[in-house]
Structure 1
Amino acid sequence: MLAVLLGVGLLVGCQNTSKSSREAAAPKPTQEQLQRVGLLNQAADDMYSKVMQGDYAGGRAILQQLGVQIPQISYEGITSVDGLNALTETVTEANKVFNSVRFSPEEGQISAAKIRLATDALTHATQPMWLQYYKLLQEDMDQLEQAAKEQRKAGIQKGVLQFEQHISVIHPSLLISRELADVDKLDSLVSFVSGQARLEQENYKQITNILPTLRQHIDKLFMKKEATAYLPVIDQQNPIIWTLAIGSFIIAALAFAGWRLAKKDNGVIPVKRQDAD
């Protein structure tokens, strides 16, 4: 257990040092950059409005304009390379949806929402709209926890699917607004819960025990300073094994995130956006 705690401390210390260095070196965006991003955000808002009103042809036309606008903007000081990649990938995926032979209005609305939240995250660093998803994710986890306690497999699978869908809508925005390592850890935790829910054997206790860690990390991503210190429900028959298992999982998730950050772009640290709007 001591080794686990020391490992977490060393990794967190290295990440904090790296974060401080990036913040010190991050340039401020120019007025021209901010104006261009503002126009991009307005276009995304127009697209979302048209799609939600059923004007899919109009939404598709604006989507094409976004594809032209995005490469013409410099995002230095606004978001990281990962954030820019997330934005462009989201637009690329939306093009596939809107140009599909069998167009799905529901998928079109989801794509429009992803783009709308992503561009808003570029223009509102401190209070982006995706923060409104906090309550929704909390309700998802409450339902998932209740289903696990009641050992309802169908309820767990339904809850996990709903939770994954909500995370997917804000995922591009997370990459724009937050550190890559933190988003990677969220992905690892969600993947673990999803994997347990899809196993044939019953794994209710594993889900119950990992949910407190997932809650804490979501609190961190949503900047909830008043976050509750959730405690995992330890298996009374094997408390030491469960403690080590959860600690090892967290170490693995953080180590993987750190490795990706170090290897990305040959070690070049991407520019971090400003903390204030």
Structure 2
Amino acid sequence: MKRTFRNIAGWLVVTLMALLLWENGSYRVSAQNDKSIQNVNKEVSSNYTIAQLNEEAAVLYRRALENNMEEVRASITRISNSLGHISFEGRTSVEGIHALSETLVEVKEAAAKFKGDKHFLQQASAKLRLAADSLANPAKPLWLQYYKIVKNDLDALSLAADQNQSAAIVVNRFTVLEEHYETIRPAAIIRLEPYQIAQMDAWLSYLKGLTHAKQSDASQLRSMTSNGEELINQLFGREKDESAFVPFVQGPDRRAAGLVISSVIVAALSYAGYRKYRALQQDIFTYRR
């Protein structure tokens, strides 16, 4: 009986040791496999290129139009995981990288709110698509094809101002123009100088104030829409008579000249706002008397 008990006990010990050794070996193999997978993923991420980013952004945009949220989120994850491994040296400025990152964040937010606003997701995806393409194709980026669209938006707004159409129509015309500009803005930041974007932003901001004012100034609105045509041409690199006239400043000094121009625009807008404020104050004092 004792011998049988010893045999059973010995068999149990041997079995337990064998199980422990097997589990330990399995754990090591699993850990090695996980490490290999991580190394492969890391290698893939480190080799991620701007061309691949552009392709992934195009896929994301198509899936957004198809309302395929599973693929949209998968594309967002792949882009997010790989963005930090891309070399942007010589491709764009710090402002361009920042604009690209902000657009990706906007796409993430839109995907989270997808059920509430499909248009928001599609617009954000379009912005990311154009921004990635602007990096991948600096010579002929897709966002330049928006020239006719933005020009038509401005013409429609200008026509509404000239014909003294209702405030609702004027606001609607401006909203369409603003939306199209915001769609291409990150892509434009990637390619253009900061002062060029600053000029456009300042003009659009003042135009928004005019179109949304309780008492619209028709003459100011017509004047600003007229000035906008030149700014849009410059934004898209379509200055009038470009071949006949040489820019008055060449080389690095063009940025300084742009800052001067921006300062003049801001000063003019501030002065116009100050005059409107003084006129409003005089009306209030006259009414009180």
TM-score normalised by structure 1 residue count: 0.69
* Structure 1 segment 14-33 matched on structure 2, within 5 A: none
1:221 equivalenced with 2:226 (yes/no): no
1:155 is matched with 169
Q: Which amino acid aligns with 1:94?
A: V
Query: Per-residue CA shift, 1:8-31, capped at 9, x if unaligned?
Result: xxxxxxxxxxxxxxxxxxxxxxxx
SS of residue matched to 2:164: coil
1:167 equivalenced with 2:181 (yes/no): yes
1:181 is matched with 195
TM-score normalised by structure 2 residue count: 0.66
Deviation at 1:164, TM superposition (A): 0.6
Deviation at 1:56, TM superposition (A): 2.0
Identity %: 27
RMSD over aligned CA atoms reads 2.5
Q: Which amino acid aligns with 1:216?
A: E
1:60 is matched with 73
Alignment CA distance shift 1:254-1:199 (3 Å): closer
SS of residue matched to 1:72: coil
Matches of 1:115 and 1:151, distance apart in 2 = 37
1:128 is matched with 141
Alignment CA distance shift 1:105-1:157 (3 Å): same
Q: Does the 8 A contact of 1:97 with 1:103 survive in 2?
A: no
2:206 to 189, 192, 213: 192
Deviation at 1:100, TM superposition (A): 2.7
Query: Per-residue CA shift, 1:33-71, capped at 9, x if unaligned?
Result: 997000110111111111112212211210111111111
Higher gyration radius (CA): 2
* Structure 1: unaligned runs, 5 residues or longer: 1-32, 229-246, 257-277
1:91 equivalenced with 2:104 (yes/no): yes
1:73 to 79, 86, 100: 86
Q: Does the 8 A contact of 2:114 with 2:121 survive in 1?
A: no
Matches of 2:140 and 2:267, distance apart in 1 = 26
Deviation at 1:174, TM superposition (A): 0.9
Q: Which amino acid aligns with 1:140?
A: D
1:111 is matched with 124
Matches of 1:34 and 1:123, distance apart in 2 = 15
Deviation at 1:213, TM superposition (A): 1.8
Deviation at 1:226, TM superposition (A): 4.1
Matches of 1:221 and 1:254, distance apart in 2 = 21
Matches of 1:162 and 1:255, distance apart in 2 = 26
1:49 equivalenced with 2:57 (yes/no): no
Q: Which amino acid aligns with 2:161?
A: A
Matches of 2:153 and 2:204, distance apart in 1 = 12
Asked which structure has the greater RCO (Cα within 8 Å, sep 6+), the reply is 1
1:144 is matched with 157
Matches of 2:129 and 2:152, distance apart in 1 = 23
Q: Does the 8 A contact of 2:198 with 2:262 survive in 1?
A: no
1:203 equivalenced with 2:221 (yes/no): no
2:10 is matched with none
Alignment CA distance shift 1:255-1:86 (3 Å): farther
Q: Does the 8 A contact of 2:130 with 2:187 survive in 1?
A: yes
Matches of 2:139 and 2:231, distance apart in 1 = 18
Q: Which amino acid aligns with 1:170?
A: I
